[in-house]
Structure formats: C-alpha cells, structure tokens
Chains A and B, each alone.
Chain A
C-alpha cells in the first residue's frame, strides 16, 4: 500500500516540462514505476504529485538513423530495447546489459531513462551507456535543452547532475558505437534475478577499449584508460584504481576487488 499522492498526466512534452517545473519541489516523474512506486511504498520518497511521463507522442520511440544513432525515448522500456531489431543487431552490448536487469516483468515496465535517472550504483544500463559513449538529452520548460555525455551524468549515490525541473527527454547511442563488441559480467548471489555484487562491461571498437563498472563505487564508473598493450595485470590495476567498492550487506570490498580483477581478465580474453 502506498502513501497518498496525486497523479498528473500531461499529454504533450511541453506540458510535461511545464508540470515538472511547477512541481520541481513536490513532484516525481513516473516512468516505469519500478523504482518510484517501491520507494513510495517504503516511505523513502513522499512526493505529493507523480507526473506520468509516458503519455506524449513519441515518448517511447526507438529510432535509428545512420547520422544520429539510436534514439531511445524516455518511456522506452528495457524490453522494448531488447525486442528492437536495430538495437539487437547494432548494439548487442546494450541488449546484453538490459537482459541482466531484474526480471522479465520488471523489464516490461522499467524504462532505460528511468534506470539511469534513478542513478543507482548498481544500474545495469549505465555501464552500457557509458561504454558506448551515449549522450543524455536534457530539456527544461522554457526551451532549455542540453546534451551531455553519460560520463558526466552521474553525481553520486542515486544522484544525477539534473537540475530541478530538468527532464531526460532522450538518450542517444551514437552510430559510431554500432557493432561495438562487448560482454557484461554481473556477479549475483543467485542465478536468478538479483542486484549485482559487481558488474563489469567491456566494449571494444576500432581498437578502443572501455570498461563500465557497476556496484563498485557511488556511481557507475567508466574506465577509458586501458589499452590492449597494457596486458591483463595493468588493466586490472587501472580498473581497480578507478573504483572504490565497499563492504555492505551483499559482499565485501575484498571480494568485489577480486572479482573485478577476475572479470577484467576474463573479458580481455573473451571480447575479441
């Protein structure tokens, strides 16, 4: 059972932005609801208003163009991405990370945008967006629009750089990242759906290696300093230097560091 709140249902993007501006202090975006509604139930969030972001035309669009890349609308679900032919063919690592997110039922509602705005350090989508060089399109009422790389999007545990009233209106995965090779290894406590103990994504395209690490720092982490010529030990050292895993209810710092090392070495072998 949820705490009580009001529901607002803007039907156009300008209306949505205006509503977000008006309710910057007492409103929350309701995308898939898979983070927001449990948070409200548990008393972690108590918005007076929830603002449905799925109702305007194009909100859930998944569009590909050679020039722009893959445009992911903010209401596009994790499942939408996994089912999208272009996403599967051109961005298999994006789909691989999507596949690791929670369970089938959750993936049918959770949105990619919502997942990254929630900014959990355990986010499974963030490593993909970081490694593929994706950009966030951020809009605000009054015509403000900016684009920024996801590398600069996460500010802390469950914190992004979004300012009050700002809205992630789209994610663009650049065409240059198409067909990047990659693999995501996520360590869980069980084989079934679970938050990650650690997650390591490695991508390689045109000789450029990138690692995206989840559950090992206050934010998901992008590591761009590793090159093939480094060799496994140096690669592990560089990745570990970029993260700061902790002891918590799921695991210890020591095991997380060990497993990051194991995964980095494994990925260097397997992603070729």
Chain B
C-alpha cells in the first residue's frame, strides 16, 4: 500500500515520536505476567531429569502429595497429550523416556514456592540411563540411538515437511535448481568448507511465565508472557481437544521474546496443574537456569558449502548442506530448516543450486524460533565462505560480493524474480563498505595501529531474509472510534519492545489524517476481544498489520463519510475531513464532527443514523505459494529485506584479544516509519549479533549436561561491550505492497554481524575462524594455526568450540 507520497507530504510516517507504552514501563506500573497474582493462585515447580536419555522406571510422588500446602502433583504418566507446531512429537511432561538433561518429569503446584520446591525434592524418580546422542553429526550415523523411535507414528504438516522415520531426521528440505554437477564441471575453482555454530539462548530479561486457570466446564484462561496469543490458543485447543471459544489467552506486557516465546511454552504445564488442583490458577515461572536448560534455545548448525566459481568470479553452482541440531524435539526447528533451505545462499545469484537441509534430533534442550530464524546461523557460514572463496580465487571480497549480489532480473533459489522494488542489496553492501572505508586504513586507523600494536582489519557481510511464514498468513486490525472522536486500534500482533505499536499508531494517524494524540493502540492482547493475528514473528508484523491498519482506517472513514453524507445531504465524493470533522469540500462550514458520529449521529429531530464507527481491515499475504517438495520451487517470500554490515576490528596478534572499533549497518527497509525505532532495532540486534559472535554458546559435558546454565558462564553483552562507533543507515527502495512502502527489519539487524567480524579478524591477523563464537582463545589458536579446541573440558567431546576440518580446496 504505497502511495508514492513524498516525505514532505507525510505528517506522521517518517518521524520518531515516543512510544506511548514507555510511560508505564518507566514508572514500574506496566504489568508483566511475572508480576501478576490472582486470588487462590498456586505456585508451580518442576522435577527435572538428571539424565540426557533414560527410561523412567518409577516415579514416587507420595511424600510430595502428603506435604501440607501441596495442591497438585502431575507426572507424565497421567497425561496423554502431544504438542508440536509442525511435527507433533512432544509431551507436556516426559512420559516413559526423558530426552534431554533438565527435561521436566513431574510438576507440583503448592501454596508457596518454597513448599513447591520442597515437594519437588521429595519426589523420587528412578531412571534407567541410556547412552545419549549429543552431537548432531553423530546422530546421523547408522548406529546412533534414536531420539524418537516412534517418529513414523507422529502426525505432521505434510505440505511442508518430510520426517524420516527410523532415523534421527525430523525433516529433510530439498531444493534443486538447475544442474550443479554441470556447473561444477564448468567452474574454474571449486571451494568446499564447513562452518558451525552452537546453540545459544534468547535471554529475554523476563523468563517464560504463565498463569493458567482451568475453570469449570473446561473453560481455560491463560495469562502468558508470549508473542502470539492466537497460536497459544490454537495449539492449546488442538492438544487438549477443546473448542476455541472455551480458551482465552491474555498477553499483557512481555519482557522480551526474540522468538523464544513465539509459540506455545509453559502454558500446558500450568494448565494440567490447575486442572488437577480443582481449577485454582497456577503460575509457573522459569528460573534463569530453567530458561537456559528447560526452555528451548536456538538450534546448532553445521553447514557444508561447496561453491563453483567461473574464471570471472561469478558463482556457477553451489551445493548447500545444512545439518541443524534440533535437540530433543522438533518444535520450530523443522521450519527453520525449511526457511533456511530456501534462503541458504544469502543474497547472491546462484544459477545452479542443490540444497539439503536436515533437522536432526539429539538428546539436548530443543531448538525453537530465534531472531533470524536460521539466518544468523547460516549467514555465518555463507559470509565467511564468500570471503574464503574470494581469497582462494584472488579477488577482493567486496568486489566478489558485488559481482554476485542479487539484482533486478536475478532469480532466487526458489525461482522468484528480483525486481527493482524488491530491495537493493548492492547499495547496502556499498554503503557499509564506504562507511568503514573498506579497502585500507584511514590515517587515524594507521596511527592507532602503529601506537597500539593491535592490527586493524575490516570486513563486510551481506544479508537477506524474507518472513518465514505460511503462504496464506493473515491478520486483521480493528479501529474503533471513541465518543470523543479519538480512535483505539485493536490487534493481536504483540509489542514486546520492538515498537511496532508506535509504528502502527503513526500509520493509523497518517491514514486517518488525525494528529497522533488522537490515536491509541490498545496494548494488551486478548483472544476474546482482539481480531486474529498469526504470530508476532518473522518481521512480518509491520507489513501485514500495517496494511490491515490502513484498510481499517479506510473502512472507518468510509463509514463516517456515509453518515456524514446523509447528515449533510451530500455525495460522499464531495466530502473531505480533518482531525475533527467531515466537511463539504465546496462549503467547508457545512460539517459534522467525528465525535458526534462516533457512536451514532442524532439528527436535530432526534432520529438516529449510522452507529458506532468501527473500521475493520484484513490483510492476507498475496500470491505466495507452497514450495515443491522435490525442487523447492515456489514463491515463499512476502518481501525480502536486504542489508549489510561493515566492521572495523583491532586484534592483538599475540593474544587473540580483539575490540570492535566500528560497525556500520545498512538495511533496505523500504520506508522507515519511525527512524528512532528502526535504529533501536538496528543497534539492539547488532549487539545481540555480537553476543552470538563473541561469547555466547552452550557447552555440554559428555553426559549431556549443560555446563553453563546461568549468567556466570553464559555471558551476554553489557554496555561495556559496545563497539566504539556505531552507524546505522537505511536504504529506502519502497516495498510496493508495504504500508507507505515499509518492510520489516526486526530480525535482520542480528544477521551477518558475526561473519562481518570473522572477516575483519581474518583481514587483521589472518586467523581463519570457521566456528562461532570467536572467543579470544579461538582467535589465538587460529592465528597460531593451533588445534582448535572442541571444548574446554577434558575427556568430553561435545562443546561449543568446534572447528570442523577443512574439507577440500581445489585450485
């Protein structure tokens, strides 16, 4: 919905008003589920498995049940429900078998949290430990234990996914474009390398928490810290076999999500406890340690890339094999596998492509959606690979990228055509490179290098992402007028900090022609009151809900004009309006105020006309298709947001320590509805990306126990970890079907930060890092060409520091 409006014609869009919900957050009056207490509420705690894989032979909860204040104890044995977004493979509590260390085996609801904890400790569980399979590559071996021996019996979404029963493969996504063997045969160089990255945690500042009340007649009310109220309701109803009208989901303020709260989480657990406790509300709040080990994380990835390049430096063929470590359950990971499958090349033109993307089960905490939905992980590989290819063929890495970047007329891996409206990745790359003076050191940088002895290097990395969502994803927005002529906007897209509500507010004000302070976006979400939205994920919210908002505003104005036309005895097309009234264009004094029409207009004799002014807008993704299961061909992309980072790093050649001096990030956002909010996303995601690049990663021991389940050893960036200089740029190639030309950027800021850093480090000191995070020690080892460590615990082969061997490098 793009009007070719010039910036000066826009009164709200393109400005940076403050976020209305900031006041509550700043005053401590914003209520998060973790703050909520209900009458009669019980507190839940869970008993967790000390084994990564084991049969449960006995659970004795008798002592727990006998404790004063214990109101319900539930074990997996008594529950017969299965959950799963795409492959229905998970129980609410482990039943018969545990599949990861820390998995919930039993749960208690009690009057106080202390009683609940004591009761959990009093539950006795006997296990028969079984050998776990911990590394995803080991899980592919013929003799690997099966994490889900019953995979063949699970239901799954067949249109999109292909599980392989009898193996640990939950999904295999394929893409075949052109003839790769021919392409390799015609290539002057073939470069094949393998890259990897570990699981990491989202680390929302508010851990997962839900309060569930299982009321009479199986009517369930849920309050949850989650991203998608309708998905919680839908999956809950499917799992428990309840009609949708009998389940209500409330989402108040949410303390961060980043994808970890995208689907269903701890709600079913709290629900079964509430039901067992006679309907008393039960609150389960994960501790920070449980957030790391019980709640899901981001899948680990091993990505093997083989690229054939012509003598002129054009990519002719690429074989992409992605091995995703999904952990114990498939959850979102199968869709990450699929979505990365069709995007796996990064923003480059690949005439002949072969993609095999596997979701692999292991006995570890499971992977879910995480900002970027696979793109942070595989762009690490792609953008390092582009750098290594360039150095293998003797071409400047920037030049190599520009030569192969997607441009109008290019075809993506799935055969979609890039047009001049899709977005300009070349411009992003060029801007990023220019911003860091790529290609040499500035005078200041050379002087700094001379004085400190730290070597300065620069890197660029490009990125792309389209929303990973069903091809028929839809949303609706309702705009209601209040009696005083102001409007309230209702939508079930959630705002957990990304500021979308403020952008929606601006869009509504713009379309209505109202001042901003006449528009409110109702903050909390309620499935009983709000119109449907699929999920708040995928960077699709601004586009789909923004469009729906525009349509709702137009609907409201149309209704208002109809009433005004009657009142003014005019033709609707002769009417105009401003923030207060609808008037006759050729006799502006003849007008009727919005306030007088808001809930029905009373004519002078008392007749009533019209009725409450309510606009409804619904928007569904247009023209997207399923992907062919054999070739991957199709049109999955609502939009493509391209971007690039330029980075300047200084590295100590003796120790591997490094500091980011400058990062410049560029995104083609189509239209920055609220530039300061876009900047907040750009910087927030950039730092989250640096965290995953520098220090984040799960470390396990040989028994599959997570060795860093707290902030003590699972570090995230602090204010002191910022680069010295941060610059944020946007290109605005309008998205023709986006609201005022906008497309999403919520995830993109995290993508490709790590390989930009890896490329810069390589340029600085020649260290070739194939695995992230790139800790100082890893850089030191790479500089000295020392053996990369698999982990830092002796006698334990599984860890987050693993550098896969070079495979083949044929000149």
Contacts and interface: CB of A to CB of B under 8 A. Distances in A.
**A–B contact via C-beta, under 8 angstroms:** yes
Interface of A: 1, 4, 187, 189-195, 247-252, 254-255, 258-259, 262
Contacts of B659: 191
A249 B793 contact: yes
B789 interface: yes
A30 to B, nearest CB: 19
B715 A189 contact: yes
A6 B657 CA distance: 46
Interface string B767-811: 000000001110011000010010011100000000000000000
Contacts of A255: 777, 780-781
Nearest to B660: A191
Interface of B: 113-114, 117, 654-655, 657, 659, 694-695, 699, 707-708, 712-713, 715, 717-721, 775-777, 780-781, 786, 789, 792-794
Contact of A249 (B695, B708, B719): B708
A192 B721 contact: yes
B655 A191 contact: no
A250 B792 contact: yes
Q: Which applies to chain A's interface (DSSP): helix, strand, loop or mixed? A: loop
A87 B414 CA distance: 68
Contacts of B794: 247
B113 A249 contact: no
B792 A192 contact: no
A1 B114 contact: yes
A249 B701 CA distance: 10
Contacts of A248: 792-793
Contacts of B713: 249-250
B114 A190 contact: no
Of A187, A250, A262, chain B has the most CB atoms within 10 Å of the CB of A250
A189 B695 contact: yes
Contacts of B720: 190-193
Given A248-B793, A249-B699, A262-B655, A192 B718 contact: yes
Contacts of B780: 255, 258
A262 B777 CA distance: 13
A1 B113 contact: yes
B777 A251 contact: yes
A249 B715 contact: no
Nearest to B707: A249
Given A1-B114, A255-B780, A258-B780, A247 B792 contact: yes
Contact of A190 (B708, B717, B789): B717
A247 B719 CA distance: 29
Given A1-B113, A259-B655, A251 B719 contact: no
Contacts of B695: 189-190
Given A252-B792, A262-B654, A189 B775 contact: yes
A155 B750 CA distance: 46
A249 B700 CA distance: 9
Contacts of B786: 254
B719 A192 contact: yes
Of A195, A249, A254, chain B has the most CB atoms within 10 Å of the CB of A249
A4 B695 CA distance: 35
B708 A194 contact: no
A190 B789 CA distance: 19
B655 A258 contact: yes
9 contacts: A1-B117, A187-B776, A190-B694, A191-B721, A195-B712, A249-B707, A249-B713, A249-B792, A249-B793
Given A1-B113, A251-B792, 8 more contacts: A189-B695, A189-B776, A190-B715, A195-B712, A247-B792, A249-B707, A254-B786, A258-B655
